[in-house]
Structure 1
Amino acid sequence: MEDTSVVQLHQNKPEDECPNLSLRPLDVSDIDAFMVWATDEKVARFCTWEPYTNKEDGLSFIKNTVVPHPWLRAICIDDRPIGTISVTSNSGNDKCRGELGYVLASKYWGRGIATKAVGMVAETIFDEWPHLERLEALVDVENLGSQRVLEKAGFQREGVLRKYVVLKGRSRDMVMFSLLSTDHCPT
């Protein structure tokens, strides 16, 4: 039986920026890699959290939030974490929906890595969690890079939710994207 906690994508194209991209669980031994993106103000700009300022808070987050999360993986190149990606399943009447979230070290932006990671999740999550029929992602209207990631990964832009969330003290408009289990993924 295949280990579903690790997903790998190997491309043979020489221009591929991420030939050894994989997704695997993130754990406390990854703290130094985690702190690279978790302390970066550019990375945290559209996130619900502020940049981390010390390793102890980062370790606490990994132990108390990351490790027990039902589906959160490190985005890795050559098994070295450069970001994370997660799916959070809803419950009750909303159990058919899951929310996708991801973060990537700014050094790796613009290389197609996030798009490939999202595509890897889209290819497997509906099999891993058969109760899901819809994977959705909310993106700040100003986060154009993340919007492009989702569009390239086959997500549909559904519309703008005005004044949908308070983020860092301001109400923000969010763009809703979705991918259905019946949609064809281009990746």
Structure 2
Amino acid sequence: MSQPEQTPPEQPPAPSHPPTALKADDPLPPPIVTTPKCIIRAHHPSDITRMQRAADNPAVAKYMSYRFASPYTLEDARRWLDLAATLKAPGTDILTCYAICEPGTSAYLGGIGVQTRTDVEAGTFELGYWIGQDSWGKGIMTEAARGFTRWVFDTFPSVVRLEAGVFSGNEASVRVLKKAGFVYEGTRRKAAVKHGVAYDVMVFGLLREECIRN
């Protein structure tokens, strides 16, 4: 596969906060989603090395915003791990960003999560995800997207819509979203500029009643 299965947005800027209380030898968090090709669980300190190796790839970073560091260092991975432990849906203690992992070994492959909105758009969450190049073309991201969107709708009754934006040229991510039931809704022309290149941003949406349940 020539492009990463990825939609922006991804990790927001890291605030000043204490690191996660988890230690590397603590038990792994239980999965929130289990599929034949992957599990999705909360991040764990033992993910740092694999996270850095998977993320430190220009092909993975190509369709990400500048917030996704490139090169991606161990310190970037540590900052994200600490930040992810603090990102929770408003008014809840439920995390919004998770690790995509191998079934059986629980080895880190990539990340998936949502960004929440406020005011009249509080019923819409924005989906973002990425996965390392070694996992491209295996259907892992499609299973993760399907399973995670089901979990979001089941976990947050007030959410009526999920939305995702894809940079023009990222056909792999378009395929993932369509297979997960998302509908193309339009294009924001030249809405993103990265390293001097202007990209259209294709907008995809998934309503609660459209969520794939099998």
Q: TM-score range by the shorter chain?
A: 0.7 to 0.9
Q: Counterpart in 2 of 1:58?
A: 77
**Deviation, structure 1 residue 129:** 1.1
Distance in 2, matches of 1:129 and 1:169, equals 39
Distance in 2, matches of 1:166 and 1:186, equals 36
Question: How many residues are matched?
Answer: 175
* Residue 100 of structure 2 corresponds to residue 75 of structure 1: yes
* Superposition map of 1:1-187 within 5 A: 6-10=32-36, 18=37, 21-48=38-65, 49-63=68-82, 65-70=83-88, 71-77=96-102, 78=104, 79-185=106-212, 187=214
Aligned residue type for 2:164:
A
**Deviation, structure 1 residue 87:** 1.1
Distance in 1, matches of 2:209 and 2:50, equals 36
**Deviation, structure 1 residue 6:** 2.0
**Deviation, structure 1 residue 27:** 2.5
Aligned residue type for 1:56:
E
**Deviation, structure 1 residue 88:** 1.2
**Deviation, structure 1 residue 169:** 4.2
Distance in 1, matches of 2:213 and 2:153, equals 15
Aligned residue type for 2:101:
C
Q: Which runs of 5+ in 2 are unaligned?
A: 1-28, 89-95
More strand per residue: 1
Distance in 2, matches of 1:130 and 1:95, equals 12
Aligned residue type for 1:66:
A
**Deviation, structure 1 residue 50:** 3.1
Q: Is the 8 A contact 1:35 1:52 kept in 2?
A: no
Q: Is the 8 A contact 2:150 2:213 kept in 1?
A: no
Distance in 2, matches of 1:183 and 1:37, equals 32
Question: CA 1:4 to 1:182, structure 2 compared with 1: closer, same or farther past 3 Å?
Answer: farther
Q: Is the 8 A contact 1:27 1:66 kept in 2?
A: no
Q: TM-score, normalised by structure 2?
A: 0.76
**Deviation, structure 1 residue 151:** 0.6
Distance in 1, matches of 2:156 and 2:45, equals 26
For residue 178 of structure 1, give the secondary structure of its aligned residue in structure 2.
strand
Distance in 1, matches of 2:43 and 2:176, equals 22
**Deviation, structure 1 residue 160:** 1.1
Distance in 2, matches of 1:54 and 1:175, equals 30
